[in-house]
Amino acid sequence: MNLHALLQARHAAGKPVRVALIGAGKFGSMFLSQVPHVAGLEVPVIIDLDPERARDACRTVGWSAELIARTSFSPDGSKALADGIDVVVEATGNPAAGIRHARAAIKAGRHIVMVNVEADVLAGPLLAEEARKAGVVYSLAYGDQPALTAELVDWARATGFHVVAAGKGTKYLPAYHDVTPDGVWQHYGLTAGEAQSAGMNPQMFNSFLDGTKSAIEMAAIANATGLDVPSDGLSFPPCGVDDLPHVLRPRERGGVLERSGQVEVVSSLERDGRPVFRDLRWGVYVVLEAPNDYAADCFRQYGLKTDASGRYAAMYKPYHLIGLELNVSVLSAALRKEPTGQPLGFRGDVVAVAKKALRAGEMLDGEGGYTVWGKVLPAATSLTLGALPIGLAHRVKLTNDVARGAVVRWSDVAIDASDETAKIRRAMEAMFA
């Protein structure tokens, strides 16, 4: 609660927090929009494969010509490690690039804020351990749902409550797992032409729709909090905010959870497509259990929505503002030397599942594509199955047929053993097996 005061002190001392941003897409642009309004925070380096696009992004979000002129734009990721940089923000969304940039930042003694949750789920537990050994911060990105959920979990535990469930809301129907980029826009109420004119990437948006992004975010939360992952993936129960403590209880208590202490995503749609009342599509939640009768009475006295027993209650945040809130992570790392959530173990993994019957010789096209979607499983289950992580299921050729709905395995694809990203992933599996 004192980040602004700490930043003011740095500003008064003439020592601004200096940030290098890698990736000037939507998340990065939202972060950049706030920078001119925060005294003591500077972004002197912006890395993007298209530097002119990054300049345009700065203009779009309101940067002055003077500020743009004194900012370095480059496609070279090594420039992010320039002298005087305190924090590197990795916002490319590319798992291989994210891992590479994070390791370079850690080696150079820079704090790293990993917007790139795809990279975090593929190898984050290993990266976080490397950062701890190097004495720098590896952090999830505040404003994105994993960090916001981890914050709620931390609040609940620090105040003495048992965390029963935690996660987020999304728009979900079972049929969405099979949607491809060709059919994505109808689910967003757009035509292909409207989406194209707005510069919207159909595969990226489809990864939100087909369940992959939800799986990735729940794996990140499980790894950061120690919560369990459902044994056969997320069930996406339809649920509004008032019903969170009723629906997200253990089954023996009348809820949908296999056990207490799990991650789960709630849907903003009933299974017949009707909207859920007071849905949590844009927000995050934690369900907690009163440790005693007195606390349960306090739930009632202070107006918390509970289940019928009065023992289970929920707290939630209805919205998340992604890049507009990212400064909390940046300043926490630079000024407090604390992450806003980070992997503490390898508890959840996201595996590639066939969207259709796949044939040997076909090329996988990664999250949100035509061939596979990502399903979250307990990490131990993923390792036992030899499952292929969704983060490695891009531009790799199948060597075996895979049935629709089946998990793709390492043994089903041809992966170059010398590929650096695959090697790092294998090293993480060995570390946490």
* pLDDT confidence band for 189 (50 / 70 / 90): confident
* pLDDT confidence band for 197 (50 / 70 / 90): confident
pLDDT value at 193 more than 90: no
Q: Which residues contact 318 (CB under 8 A, 6 or more apart)?
A: 241, 280, 282, 283
pLDDT value at 73 more than 90: yes
Closest by Cα among 354, 391, 71, 383 to 216: 391
pLDDT value at 118 more than 90: yes
Place of tokens 């994505």: 184
User: What is the model's pLDDT at position 328?
Assistant: 98
DSSP 19: E
CATH number of 3-143+323-336: 3.40.50.720
**Mean pLDDT computed over 343-356:** 97
Q: In what order do the strands lie in the sheet with 17-22?
A: 72-74, 41-47, 17-22, 87-90, 111-114, 138-140
pLDDT in tens, 7-64: 999 999 999 999 999 999 999 999 999 999 999 999 999 999 999 999 999 999 999 9
What is the spatial distance between Cα 363 and Cα 397, in angstroms, rounded to a whole number? 4
Q: For the residues of 278-327, what is the DSSP string, one character each?
A: TB-TT-EEEEEE-SSHHHHHHHHHTT--B-TTS-EEEEEES---GGGGTH
CA 350-170-140 angle, to 5 degrees, is 55
User: What is the model's pLDDT at position 1?
Assistant: 79
User: What is the model's pLDDT at position 29?
Assistant: 95
**Mean pLDDT computed over 344-358:** 97
- Of 96-100, 178-182, 198-202, 277-281, where does mean pLDDT reach its minimum? 198-202
Per-chain mean pLDDT for the chain: 96
Q: Which residues contact 256 (CB under 8 A, 6 or more apart)?
A: 235, 237, 247, 248, 249, 264
What is the spatial distance between Cα 377 and Cα 292, in angstroms, rounded to a whole number? 33
**Mean pLDDT computed over 274-301:** 97
* pLDDT confidence band for 181 (50 / 70 / 90): very high
DSSP 274: P
pLDDT > 70 in the chain, percent: 100
Task: Flag whether the pTM goes above 0.75.
Answer: yes
* pLDDT confidence band for 359 (50 / 70 / 90): very high
Roughly what angle, to the nearest 10 degrees, separates helices 420-432 and 95-107? 70
CATH number of 348-432: 3.90.1210.10
**Mean pLDDT computed over 304-333:** 97
pLDDT value at 275 more than 90: yes
| Residue-range domain boundaries for the chain | 3-143+323-336, 146-172+211-320, 348-432
pLDDT in tens, 381-433: 999 999 999 999 999 999 999 999 999 999 999 998 889 999 999 999 999 87
**Mean pLDDT computed over 142-151:** 98
User: What is the model's pLDDT at position 8?
Assistant: 97
Roughly what angle, to the nearest 10 degrees, separates helices 117-134 and 420-432? 70
Sequence length of the chain is 433
**Mean pLDDT computed over 290-319:** 96
pLDDT in tens, 227-255: 999 999 999 999 999 999 999 999 999 99
Would you say the CATH fold of 348-432 matches that of 3-143+323-336?
A: no
User: What is the model's pLDDT at position 195?
Assistant: 79
**Mean pLDDT computed over 355-378:** 97
What is the spatial distance between Cα 14 and Cα 11, in angstroms, rounded to a whole number? 5
User: What is the model's pLDDT at position 391?
Assistant: 96
